[in-house]
Structure 1
Amino acid sequence: MPSKFAKVQKQVSKKKGGALALHENSRDALRLRSAVARDDRVARLGAVREKANDVYLNRILFLQGEIPDPLRPLTDAEVHDAIARYLRREDDSLATLKAERRPGRPKSTRQTLLEQQQDQEQKEYESGLWIPDMQNEASLIKLRNWKGEWIALSPLTYVRVGKSGSIKESAFPPKGAA
Structure 2
Amino acid sequence: MPLAHNLNKVTKNLSKSTGSIHIKGRKFKQLNRATVRDKKLQKQKLNSIEKKSNELLIVTFIQNKIKDEPNESYSLEEIKDLINDFINIDRERLKDAEKEHRKGRPISTKQKLLSEKVKHEEHVFETGYKVPDISDPETVTRLRSWNGTTGATTGFKFTHVSKSQKSFPTKEVEMR
Q: TM-score, normalised by structure 2?
A: 0.82
Structure-2 residue corresponding to 1:176 = none
Deviates more, 1:67-76 or 1:101-110: 67-76
Take 1:61 and 1:23, find their aligned partners in 2: how far apart are those partners?
A: 53
Q: CA deviation at 1:71?
A: 5.2
Structure-2 residue corresponding to 1:12 = 14
- Note the 1:93-132 alignment, pairs <5 A: 93-132=93-132
Alignment of 1:50 with 2:46, yes or no, is no
Structure-2 residue corresponding to 1:162 = 162
Alignment of 1:28 with 2:58, yes or no, is no
Q: Does the 8 A contact of 1:129 with 1:160 survive in 2? A: yes
Deviations 1:103-147 (A, max 9, x none): 232321111211111111112212211111111121122222322
Secondary structure at 1:53 match in 2: helix
Structure-2 residue corresponding to 1:134 = 134
Deviations 1:32-64 (A, max 9, x none): 111111111100111122222232111111111
Q: List alignment gaps of at least 5 residues for structure 2.
A: 171-176
Take 1:22 and 1:103, find their aligned partners in 2: how far apart are those partners?
A: 59
Alignment of 1:63 with 2:65, yes or no, is no
Take 2:159 and 2:42, find their aligned partners in 1: how far apart are those partners?
A: 31
Q: CA deviation at 1:77?
A: 2.4
Alignment: residue pair count? 164
Take 1:45 and 1:19, find their aligned partners in 2: how far apart are those partners?
A: 34
Q: Does the 8 A contact of 1:128 with 1:160 survive in 2? A: yes
- Runs of 4+ displaced beyond 4 Å: none
RMSD: 2.1
Q: Does the 8 A contact of 2:67 with 2:144 survive in 1? A: no
| Amino acid in structure 2 at the alignment position of 1:63 | I
Structure-2 residue corresponding to 1:153 = 153
Take 1:27 and 1:163, find their aligned partners in 2: how far apart are those partners?
A: 58
Percentage of pairs with the same residue: 27
